[in-house]
Amino acid sequence: MSRVALVTGGTRGIGKAISLALKNAGYQVAANYFGNVEAAKKFTEETGIPAYRFDVSNFSECQAGVKVVAGDLGPIEIVVNNAGITRDAPLHKMSYEQWEQVIHTNLTSCFNMARSVIDTMRDMGFGRIVNIGSLNGQAGQYGQVNYAAAKSGIHGFTKALAQEGAAKGITVNAIAPGYVDTEMVLAVPAEVLKKIVAKIPAGRLGHAEDIARGVLFLVADDADFITGSTISINGGHHMY
Ligand code: CAA
């Protein structure tokens, strides 16, 4: 049987490309979503990949969601923590809610998901966890103290859990995408985005498929010696 993978935020943007790449490589894929019900419906119709609605910022919803997916497809062997939001504002204009939403959705979600699958992965002696960080967690970004803190936290989370998982066949890695042509990035004001793209040596925004390629590499069975690492996929924008 092919391995079971769960991708959070897996029906749109980078997550959609990851779900599809995993399916095309022969994995059994479950895509989580929360906000956009219409997009998830369309995604399942188009791809045949089942979509599961739960809020990754909520621990008990993650535990319940993982149970349902495992009941449908089998024990989850691969988790891609991709779900994320932005609530950009300079700190002097940022509300506590903007801070809290981003920290819980982007960072606490990694705990919620990993904690919900880790016991089974340890019992199986196999697991692959890939956390989607960000260039902006590595380098910082004006208007993103919340997002940069959460994404930077993901990189620390990855290295700590990698140490815990290594002896149990569980690898934990991160990918740090740069600016990718998803709805999230295209929401950045055009004149700001133009200045950002001018700083990318590759001369273009990334595509979601550029990130999915990295995930496929990290989840492979024979990637078992790669753990605690971060792969930057950013067109040379920032070399960490
Ligand atoms: N560095 C220094 N100063 C900057 C700046 C920057 N990068 N960006 C804006 N400023 C300055 C402006 O020049 C302006 O200065 P003055 O008042 O002296 O003219 C001041 O900050 C206010 O700028 P705005 O009028 O733009 O302020 P705002 O409150 O309306 O908007 C903002 C601020 C929401 C942060 C807006 O600048 C913005 O959206 N920036 C882009 C943030 C960004 O890159 N987000 C990434 C989203 S995609 C993503 O996160 C995915 C990923 O992982 C890569």
Centre of ligand 1 from the C-alpha of residue 107, in Å: 22
Centre of ligand 1 from the C-alpha of residue 226, in Å: 36
Task: Identify the burial level of 80 via C-beta atoms within 10 angstroms of its C-beta, where 0-12 means exposed, 13-18 middle and 19 or more buried.
Answer: buried
- pLDDT (tens digit per residue) in 151-209: 999 999 999 999 999 999 999 999 999 999 999 999 999 999 999 999 999 999 999 99
- Closest-CA residue, ligand 1 atom 48, reads 185
Q: What's the CA gap between 10 and 16, in Å, rounded? A: 5
- Radius of gyration for the alpha carbons in the chain, expressed in angstroms and rounded: 17
From 14, 141, 180, 194, the mutation candidate for ligand 1 (largest count of ligand atoms within 8 A of CB) is 141
What is the pLDDT confidence band of residue 87, given thresholds at 50, 70 and 90? very high
- pLDDT (tens digit per residue) in 211-228: 999 999 999 999 999 999
- Ligand 1, pocket residues at CB < 6 Å: 86, 88-90, 93, 134-136, 141-144, 147, 177-179, 184-185, 188-189, 192
Domains of the chain: 4-229 (3.40.50.720)
- Please say if the pLDDT value at position 80 is more than 80: yes
